[in-house]
């Protein structure tokens, strides 16, 4: 009797293991194909990447290991930004998918925006600031966070979707945690959504020039001016003498 139960349990456990392995393999192929279509880089694992952050979903689940990592860059309204997408595996299971968009400016305050339905309590929870739109804000510094939380930030956060348990701002990144089974199309929309948040907290400064030269728009204008100037010079130049081959 016990032997039969043990055999059934073994078969059932093996079935679950094979199912999980099949799901992981399918997700790996899907993520790899998505990276290829976008011209992004793909890595099966990166144990150090989650350690770049300590807030939001990384604090909730533990930094763990990054699986099926996609790295690249994408355009937002305020320019091109670096992005990461990866499965966060902690405790031997994939708990969430992290999407991250880099900002040029590094903010000293961490702002976590959680949906109320998430059991977001943890051992070292940031300070509760209060409701922000349909989410609750937990921050590392209340006075510093108030400057970041504007009506534009609230509007941008509302657009990312209620299936995203938490979006947060940490150092030079805007991040969000999606369900483990999120498809590439959903992750594309999420990247656009947190890209809008990045534009809000790190807007393009028309007065500032990046180190090492003029802004892209300025450089483009200067190229146009130079081409127009060369055109005028060509028009004003005397007719050239015929080449020997034309003679």
What average pLDDT does the segment 25-40 reach? 91
Block residue for tokens 């290829």: 36
Query: At residue 204, what are phi and psi to the nearest 5 degrees?
Result: -70, 125
How much is the pLDDT for 202?
A: 94
In a domain, 239, yes or no: no
How would you class 133 by CB atoms within 10 Å of its CB: exposed for 0-12, middle for 13-18, buried for 19 or more?
middle
Quote the domain boundaries for residue 137. Answer: 2-201
pLDDT tens profile 44-88: 999 999 999 999 999 999 889 999 999 999 999 888 999 999 999
Q: Can you tell me the mean pLDDT for 133-143? A: 95
pTM of the model: 0.73
Percent of the chain with pLDDT over 90: 63
Predicted confidence band of residue 12 (pLDDT cuts 50, 70, 90): very low
CA 53 to chain CA mean position, Å? 13
Could you tell me if residue 72 is inside a domain?
yes
Give domain status of residue 216, yes or no.
no
Mean pLDDT of the chain: 80
Tell me, yes or no, whether 71 lies in a domain.
Answer: yes
The total number of structural domains that make up the chain: 1
Q: State the average pLDDT over residues 134-143.
A: 95
For residues 121 and 118, what is the distance between their CA atoms, to the nearest angstrom?
A: 9
Answer whether residue 241 is part of any domain. no
Which tens digits make up the pLDDT trace of 77-130?
888 999 999 999 998 899 999 999 999 999 999 999 999 988 766 777 889 999
> 208 in a domain, yes or no?
no
Nearest Cα to 180, choosing from 56, 87, 113, 69? 87
d(CA 49, CA 197): 22
Measured CA to CA, the distance from residue 153 to residue 109 in angstroms comes to: 15
Q: Answer yes or no: is 229 within a domain.
A: no
CA 89, chain centre distance (Å): 17
Q: Tens digits of per-residue pLDDT, 225-237?
A: 444 444 444 344 4
Q: Is residue 152 part of a domain?
A: yes
Q: How long, in residues, is the chain? A: 247
User: Is the pLDDT higher at 46 or at 5?
Assistant: 46
């Amino acid at each position: 009797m016990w032997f039969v139960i043990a055999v059934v349990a073994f078969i059932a456990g093996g079935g679950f293991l094979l199912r999980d392995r099949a799901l992981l393999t399918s997700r790996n192929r899907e993520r790899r194909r998505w990276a290829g279509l976008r011209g992004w880089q793909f890595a099966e694992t990166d144990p150090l990447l989650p350690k770049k952050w300590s807030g939001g979903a990384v604090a909730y689940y533990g930094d763990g290991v990054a699986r099926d990592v996609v790295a690249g860059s994408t355009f937002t309204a305020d320019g091109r930004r670096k992005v990461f997408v990866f499965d966060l595996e902690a405790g031997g299971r994939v708990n969430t998918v992290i999407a991250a968009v880099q900002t040029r400016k590094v903010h000293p305050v961490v702002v976590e925006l959680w949906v109320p339905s998430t059991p977001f309590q943890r051992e070292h929870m940031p300070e509760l600031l209060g409701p922000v739109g349909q989410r609750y804000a937990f921050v590392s510094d209340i006075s510093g966070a108030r400057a970041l939380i504007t009506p534009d930030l609230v509007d941008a956060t509302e657009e990312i979707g209620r299936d995203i348990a938490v979006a947060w701002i940490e150092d030079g990144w805007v991040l969000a945690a999606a369900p483990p089974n999120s498809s590439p199309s959903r992750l594309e929309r999420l990247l656009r959504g947190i890209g809008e948040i990045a534009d809000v907290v790190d807007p393009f400064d028309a007065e500032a020039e990046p180190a090492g030269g003029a802004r892209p728009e300025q450089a483009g204008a200067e190229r146009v001016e130079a081409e127009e100037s060369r055109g005028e010079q060509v028009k004003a130049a005397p007719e050239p003498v015929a080449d020997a081959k034309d003679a």
